[in-house]
Structure 1
Amino acid sequence: MAKRMYTIGMAGHIDHGKTTLTKALTDWDTDRLKEEKERNVSIEPGFAPLQLAENIDVSIIDVPGHERFIRQMIAGVAGIDAVILTVAADEGVMPQTKEHLEILSLLNVKGGLIAVTKADKVEDELLELAGEDIREEVQGTPFEDAAMVEVDSLSGRGIQEVRTALRSILQDLPSRNPRGAFRLPIDQVFSVHGQGTIVRGTVYEGTVEEGNTVQVLPLRKTVKIRQLQRHGEKVSKGEAGQRLAMNISGVDREELKRGDVVVSAEHYITTTRLNIVLYTSELAVYALKQRGPVKLHLGTAEVYGKIIFFDRNVLEPGKQEVYCQLLLNESVVTKRHDRFILRRPSPMETIGGGWIINPNAERLRFGRQAVELLQKELQGTPEEHLKAALREYKWLEPEQLAKEAGLLLEEVQEISARLIEQGEAKQYDNKKITLQELYEQKTADMMKELESFHEAHPLRIGKNKQELQLFAEGTLPKELAERILDEAERHHKVARHKQYVANSSHIPYYPDGWEKRMTRAEEAWKQDGLSPRPWAEYTEEQGIPEDLSEELKYSLLQAGEAVSMDDKHIWAVSEMMKTIRALTANYPDGFTLQQAKETAAISRKYLVPFLEWLDEQKWTKRKQEERVWRETYDQD
């Protein structure tokens, strides 16, 4: 049975037993910093593995409970699947209990349980009152029906019940999708002597393996994964839902920070302008003015910016749904439906949270029309969402498409089948789906690009495939680019000659006015056989300028009519073949250097590189003082 991967948060007010409960469950102390041990206060999120069942792989994130460390708390819970909300029996619901509860609700964390900690410190009556207080507080939140367990981590009371409750919650909770593009927001960066840069985070989606090449955004740095670890143990791959540490090369530790994102594809958007739907906090007490300063918490990133309203100039306190825009001071990495928290920098408070409607937003004018546009972007039809996801990610498997479009898998299958039947989409190998418009646009772009290339380089048989814009970094997934090229070839729109691509109608030709001179230069070159002069001399004699001389030379090499001897000399393949035929006829079993010199009738200056070329091309092989033909030594 395949393992299901989850990350669980441990949240709650300071000194309500989060770290102690984590240790009781995992036998790991998540307070790793010297300051944390000295002050007995969690400052940074801590991490520990939890063994619940053979088919369930769980990591616990123990987040700080102090109000001063709310930013670390948000970064910790941003990628969790479920949560244990801790409330101490001797204190009950406290300010950070309420703020953590609201942040979890705004982040749409639904799975979880409530642990009433320090249960042995109070009488049964007070314990019962604490439970009632908690139930009243969670009414109207995703945790109003959550299981509640009385726990004392020191005595072990309730620990097994917590494990049982977690197993029950996770059995009903869908695990993250390990398919599709890998994404890991970084929450820790450090270096280890002798190993280099290490980054840690929770894998939001996709799979990555040791040795893979990935990108760090928004830096756009390409790095290679040297090693992967999970909770200190080396692993060969990491999957969505897991905690992962990656030893990477290609970037210095000083270049990275919390909030950067490691991805395996070019499809993720880096942006400074976002369309959002904001659900305001009931705890907020201050009004927020138009273009007022805000701090966005997105994944593990925290970025300052301004909020832009389209239907008001002031956001008054109170529970509201607001369609608006964020203009950020720095780029963030995000996509549609990512959740976020918005806070006020000063005085500090949580403004609210919500999700990204459009990560690649444009400037909009103040007015109802802008709000209606954002509402339409949020709502739309299932088909519109599906097409929007395919336009953003180019091609996706149905399961990943369902996730990116915010649809059920059955909806994706039904809509994509209809679009395929109507000729608006296509599916490769019964897996990945793409839009027909993408194929048509990219094919048309490629043919136009080749047409311009043929006009600029009429002598060449085609353009190197890897130089086509179709294969440029960040344009398309490489496999999809290959499929588009293959299909264009099947429909006789382009032709391929080894690694070169041309429009199917293209036949190499001499530039206007140069045919006779170039023909004479080629004839003179061929007449010199295997003792050619420098190529430039032939074209200079005919008055051919240097750029056209190089173009003619390149076209002969590209077409396989010439072979490069060195930087200045090229051989005519037809002349080389004459010599090869003469050698095989005169010396079918092999030949010496002197016999080759007599047959080819060329000086040692040309003979030695020619014989070395025969060896490189596997025509011959050295055998003591002779060279034998490939057919001979292949039979030995």
Structure 2
Amino acid sequence: MIIATAGHVDHGKTALLHALTGTDADRLPEEKKRGMTIDLGYAYLPTPEGGAIGFIDVPGHERFLSNMLAGVGGVRHALLVIAADDGVMPQTREHLAILQLLQLDSLTVAISKSDLAGPEALEGVMDEARRALAEHGLRAAALLPVSARSGAGVDVLRQHLLQLRDQAAGTERRFRLAIDRAFTIGGAGLVVTGTAWGGRVNVGDALWLSGKDVAVRVRGLHVQNQPARQGQAGQRIALNLVGDIDKRQIQRGDWLLEQAAPAPAARVSVRLRLAPAAHATLRHWQAVHLHHAASHCTGRVALLERPQLHPGDEGLAELSLDRPLLLADGDKLILRDAGAQHTLACATVLERQPPTRGKRQDERLAHLRALAAAGSDNVQNLRLRLSRQALSLPDLAWDRQLSEAGLAELLRAAPLLTAGQHAYAPEHWAELQGQLLERLAALHLQQPDQLGASRGRARRLALPQESEAAVNLMIDQLLAEGRLANTRGWLHLPGHMLAFDAEETALWRRLEPAFTDQGQPHWVRDLAAAAGVEEDTARAVLRKAARLGHVHAVVRDRYFSSAAIRGMAAIVHSLNQDAGYADAANFRDQLGCGRKLAIQILEYFDRCGFTRRLGDRHLLREARLFD
């Protein structure tokens, strides 16, 4: 478990941590010299069970608030320190606003320097603290007077903190750790530290380092300042890493991930919750500072429901980020004004890939509200997302931070169809199948002299946005149900028939005798000359004959009879069975033709999908295509 400190500068946070743990969390020489915390510091309190509670000592000075926000990311408990001789100060309220927006599991308030105030003054500060908490809608798990100098109340505070427990560790999710420090140790090498947001990590695990986008391996672990073989969500972890990386290439805000991440998001849909302070207002397209985990960037807020939000309001918005961030569903970002003077709101991520149009339509806003209401319910979130479009399974796993086992369990819990790397709601799947059939019907009306379309053309015409695997599965289902027919590789509606008209029939009877010599190809110009017709007229009839399955054009204007093609397909099949492949040489020898014609025929079989080419070899793909 990790506890972040909070409070105004010089209210005794670091001294109190020293009294609680025996550790001086001020680690930088400048901090020692100036007597104030500038960057994050760390201290650990051993627990009776053999573990440790980690403390993050965050800066209290307003100039270092970005460092404070880097320290509270992913933390579920806070210790607010208010000095008895000072009372509630501006940074106390700023920190309270941040803690209220983050909705932590618990907040403990320590009234420090209690030995510097008399009983009445101390009670007055405690009353002031209660009022400040109430103004921010917060309630303290405990409000305790302490003195780091005399030790008064420190034991009581320590026992209270030891009794705290994390409500939701998130160990079932993917491992994700926000890096806040990187350094090298002699004899060990590169070490990074941070807060684990989810999952588990073990010595020997392979991880992905964002920023540099390289794979690294975990050589060693320290968890809550103790050597360990495993770390998990909700802990401070130091990882000794091995890989093609050095300290200079790592920045605060980078992530260590269980798997490679998708591209960082530059736009996200969010639910905003504004702080109750009077200055907390947001206008459409207002410039803001955004803090997420250990990252900080700037951006703008596009309000979706109304042009302005006021203190305490909630609303839907889209964040446009000047620097893309690695975000997942449910992640929280703290928004501060353009001058970085005031905390304005907390944004909870609802959607990592918002559409580019129709953002303010009623249906769209209702969908975002439903996503917000679903919260951490993975099944409901999945149903909502499937109701609108096909869903990429890798994107779903990242957005919900699901392990492979977690994704499989979720897919079993929701009614859906999977095709390749996409999932579909049954209703959406049926709509897409209907769309495919409607487009084929339109094609039959537009081109009645064509038998139908190939699989590839059907996909381009009807469902260009869907994956090839999904469209092939739809077609297979429609064929099995008898709602679609396949004639020699052409897809068409069952009632659609192709036939010669009377004039075409007469011409075909004049051309057909040439194909009784089944092994020989014929050029269109020769057939036209023999029949005494125009070349274009003969070409049109032969094309239709090919669609009817009477002949096949291995190259433009050069035709074989269907019987000849089947015979040559049998040779290719035999060569694949005997030699493992067909090529120009062995096929030419079997067929007794020239090398050029052998290559043309083999390439025709590749185009048809009967074979596939690998170098100069043609390997059997579908043995029954020309049966």
TM range (shorter): 0.5 to 0.7
Q: 1:60 is aligned with what amino acid? A: F
The offset of 1:375, in angstroms, is 2.0
The correspondence for 1:166, drawn from 154, 161, 165, is 161
The correspondence for 1:209, drawn from 193, 202, 210, is 202
2:79 is the counterpart of 1:58: no
2:245 is the counterpart of 1:251: yes
In structure 2, the residue matched to 1:39 is 34
1:141-186 deviations in Å (ceiling 9; x for gaps): 464243111111122211110122113332xx42402222111112
In structure 1, the residue matched to 2:264 is 270
In structure 1, the residue matched to 2:276 is 282
Q: How many Å separate the matches in 2 of 1:56 and 1:523?
A: 65
The correspondence for 2:312, drawn from 299, 308, 319, is 319
In structure 1, the residue matched to 2:14 is 19
The correspondence for 1:385, drawn from 381, 387, 402, is 381
Structure 2's unaligned 5+ residue stretches are: 425-454, 457-466, 470-563, 604-611, 621-627
Q: 1:259 is aligned with what amino acid? A: G
In structure 1, the residue matched to 2:218 is 225
CA contact (8 A) 1:427 1:434 kept: no
Q: How does 1:565-584 map to 2 (within 5 A)?
A: none
In structure 2, the residue matched to 1:612 is none
Q: How many Å separate the matches in 1 of 2:361 and 2:383?
A: 26
The correspondence for 1:101, drawn from 67, 79, 96, is 96
Q: 2:247 is aligned with what amino acid? A: R
Q: Which has the larger radius of gyration?
A: 2
The correspondence for 2:348, drawn from 345, 352, 355, is 355
Structure 1's unaligned 5+ residue stretches are: 1-5, 406-425, 446-454, 457-467, 471-509, 527-534, 557-636
1:344-381 deviations in Å (ceiling 9; x for gaps): 13263211114122222223546463544432331259
TM-align CA RMSD: 4.5
The correspondence for 2:120, drawn from 121, 125, 130, is 125
1:90-137 deviations in Å (ceiling 9; x for gaps): 101111111111101101113121111111122222212111111111
Aligned length: 468
Q: Out of 61-70 and 535-544, give the one that drifted further.
A: 535-544
Q: 1:362 is aligned with what amino acid? A: P
Report the 3-state secondary structure (helix = DSSP H, G, I; strand = E; otherwise coil) of the residue aligned with 1:161: helix
Q: Out of 47-56 and 32-41, give the one that drifted further.
A: 47-56
The correspondence for 1:84, drawn from 62, 79, 84, is 79
Q: How many Å separate the matches in 1 of 2:578 and 2:133?
A: 92
Q: How many Å separate the matches in 2 of 1:70 and 1:378?
A: 29
Q: How many Å separate the matches in 1 of 2:246 and 2:314?
A: 42
The correspondence for 1:297, drawn from 291, 308, 322, is 291
The offset of 1:520, in angstroms, is 9.6
Report the 3-state secondary structure (helix = DSSP H, G, I; strand = E; otherwise coil) of the residue aligned with 1:104: helix
The offset of 1:64, in angstroms, is 0.7
Q: TM-score, normalized by length of structure 1?
A: 0.63
Report the 3-state secondary structure (helix = DSSP H, G, I; strand = E; otherwise coil) of the residue aligned with 2:319: strand
Q: How many Å separate the matches in 2 of 1:69 and 1:443?
A: 45
Q: How many Å separate the matches in 2 of 1:258 and 1:69?
A: 15
The offset of 1:207, in angstroms, is 0.3
Q: 2:155 is aligned with what amino acid? A: Q
1:540-559 deviations in Å (ceiling 9; x for gaps): 97836599885676859xxx
Report the 3-state secondary structure (helix = DSSP H, G, I; strand = E; otherwise coil) of the residue aligned with 1:169: coil
Q: 2:28 is aligned with what amino acid? A: L
Report the 3-state secondary structure (helix = DSSP H, G, I; strand = E; otherwise coil) of the residue aligned with 2:99: helix
Q: 1:359 is aligned with what amino acid? A: R
Report the 3-state secondary structure (helix = DSSP H, G, I; strand = E; otherwise coil) of the residue aligned with 2:178: strand
The correspondence for 1:338, drawn from 323, 331, 342, is 331
CA contact (8 A) 1:48 1:60 kept: yes
2:143 is the counterpart of 1:148: yes
In structure 2, the residue matched to 1:190 is 183
2:174 is the counterpart of 1:181: yes
CA gap of 1:265–1:436, structure 2 versus 1, over 3 A, is: farther
CA contact (8 A) 2:262 2:395 kept: no
Q: How does 1:489-504 map to 2 (within 5 A)?
A: none
Report the 3-state secondary structure (helix = DSSP H, G, I; strand = E; otherwise coil) of the residue aligned with 2:197: coil
